[in-house]
Amino acid sequence: MFCYAKKKVFRYEAQNVAFARKYDGMNREKKFSFLILRLIKREDNVERGAMDRDGNIALKKAALRVAMVDRRRSIPEPLRVEMNREIAARLLALPELLTVRHIHIYLSHQALAEVDTVQIIEALAVMKKRLSVPLVRVGDISSAQYHPGDEVKATLAGYPEPAVYTEADESDLDLVVVPLLSFDARGYRLGYGKGMYDRFFCRLSCSGLTPFRLGVSYLQQQCEKLPVDPWDEPLDAVVHQAGIIRYT
């Protein structure tokens, strides 16, 4: 949220010459704080207006999450295993893999019937790609080094992560493979509601890092148009069992 606000502040300041002249003598930090409060108030008004028109976005997302988890779990296990193989094959055939070196990829949560990343990770290791996986601390994602066979443990939320870890250098991160519950024609994804990947992408962007954002999903999870919030970060592409959809 800080990075999102920071970008909005710099854009606002650049586009509003009158403001820049009026507060030219103000300390940079005070000016930033003043603008943050001003922008938050404006965003709240915009969001309230949008909710009046479109209904409660949070409630719509919550209902979709329940529906999409149920839809994913309803896929017969043999079919899901076959679709996992097809998704892995299509991902590993992407031309981007010829040049990327460092890939951040999630460890799949079997209880939620996520697209299985085990065979993808094993294949990427054979291709000599440097791998990192999500490490969640205080609700935010960082990157931990990972090698196939490393011991993993379940977090309190049930997500697997390395039992013993070394934080990875994210400065050369080329590609991020992202889990999702649903995706739409614009490249937006529906996650689990904690905003961790949105903040992760925002943090990287604010540091000048723009890795390719790749979602993996079963085609059954596609929606025509997802409800979105101002801070939702779109993907560059989604790989599913029947192909790939590119947005950039």
Long-range own/partner contacts, residues 79-83 (CB < 8 A, 24 or more apart): 80/113, 80/218, 81/116, 82/241, 83/115, 83/218, 83/241
Q: For the chain, give the percent of residues with pLDDT over 90.
A: 73
Helix (H) / strand (E) containing 129: none
Q: Count how many residues are written for the chain.
A: 248
Strand partners, 189: 183
- Alpha carbons 227 and 230: distance in angstroms, whole number: 10
Bigger pLDDT: 129 vs 41: 129
pLDDT over threshold 60, residue 213? yes
pLDDT, tens only, 32-59: 444 444 544 444 444 444 444 455 899 9
Q: Name the pLDDT band for 158 (thresholds 50, 70, 90).
A: confident
Least confident among 11-20, 52-61, 161-170: 11-20
DSSP letter at 125 equals: H
Q: Cβ atoms within 10 A of the Cβ of 230, count?
A: 11
Average pLDDT along the chain = 85
Task: Check residue 156 and give its pLDDT.
Answer: 83
Average pLDDT over residues 10-22: 45
Average pLDDT over residues 69-96: 97
Structure pTM? 0.79
pLDDT over threshold 50, residue 242? yes
Average pLDDT over residues 107-117: 95
Q: Name the pLDDT band for 157 (thresholds 50, 70, 90).
A: confident
Average pLDDT over residues 19-32: 50
Task: Check residue 26 and give its pLDDT.
Answer: 54
